[in-house]
A = this chain, B = another copy of it.
Amino acid sequence: MPDLLAIINKCVPDIFRTMAGMTAVPGEGDADAPRPSVLNGVTGSVSLSGQANGVVYTAYSDGLAKFLSCTVLGCEDPGEADISDVVGEFTNMITGNLKSLLCDKGFPCSLSIPTVLRGGDISVVSKNAPVSVRNTYYFAEQKEELVVLVFARFD
């Protein structure tokens, strides 16, 4: 079975460095994250289906979502729709990178369209996923953080 925690610890910093010039430092991580698991801020979500089947959630603190949107869009005061676009697009890129690494390891899969959720203390669970991996990524310069949660099943 692929080491999902190691994979997201590669994908997430790679995308932030390449696409926004930002440094994301992985926390310790949890390869057996609680179910349900609680998310806050602005959360992007993309699903996988195929030999790797699952859902990737990326929960941005409000400050991180705004900072990232300003950086990417080159504006000072992005609106909610702009922020959702950027969060959806980053979730898509992170999950695309994850998909590519899973494919290399013999688990080909396809991606759904990204969606973006907002709300306080959104609890998420998936009974059908034996794998539940979570990590927090710290952005020291911005004093902000990103939580990534992946539920998965490998066939």
Please list the residues of chain A having a beta carbon within 8 angstroms of any beta carbon in chain B.
36, 45, 47-50, 53-55, 81, 84-85, 88, 110-129, 151, 153
Q: Which of B36, B48, B49, B118 makes the CB contact (< 8 A) with A118?
A: B36
Contact of A126 among B88, B111, B124 (CB under 8 A): B88
Residues of chain B within 8 A of A124, CB atoms compared: 115-118
Residue in B55, B88, B122 whose beta carbon sits within 8 Å of that of A47 in the complex: B55
Provide the main secondary structure of the chain A interface: strand
Using A47-B49, A55-B112, A88-B128 as known contacts, list a sample of 19 further A-B pairs with CB atoms less than 8 Å apart, ordered by residue number in A: A36-B116, A36-B118, A45-B55, A47-B55, A47-B112, A49-B49, A49-B110, A49-B112, A84-B127, A88-B125, A88-B127, A110-B110, A113-B126, A115-B124, A115-B151, A116-B125, A116-B127, A117-B122, A119-B121
Alpha-carbon distance between A84 and B124 when the two chains are bound, in angstroms: 10
Q: Are B84 and A125 touching (Cβ within 8 A)?
A: yes
Q: In the complex, what residues of B have CB within 8 A of residue A85's CB?
A: 127
B36 contacts A112, CB within 8 Å? no
Given contacts A36-B84, A49-B49, contact A126 B151 (CB under 8 A): no
Listed by A's residue number, 24 A-B pairs whose Cβ atoms lie within 8 Å are A36-B84, A36-B116, A47-B47, A49-B49, A53-B112, A54-B112, A55-B113, A55-B115, A85-B127, A88-B127, A110-B110, A113-B126, A113-B153, A114-B127, A114-B128, A115-B126, A115-B151, A116-B125, A116-B126, A117-B122, A117-B124, A118-B123, A119-B119, A119-B122
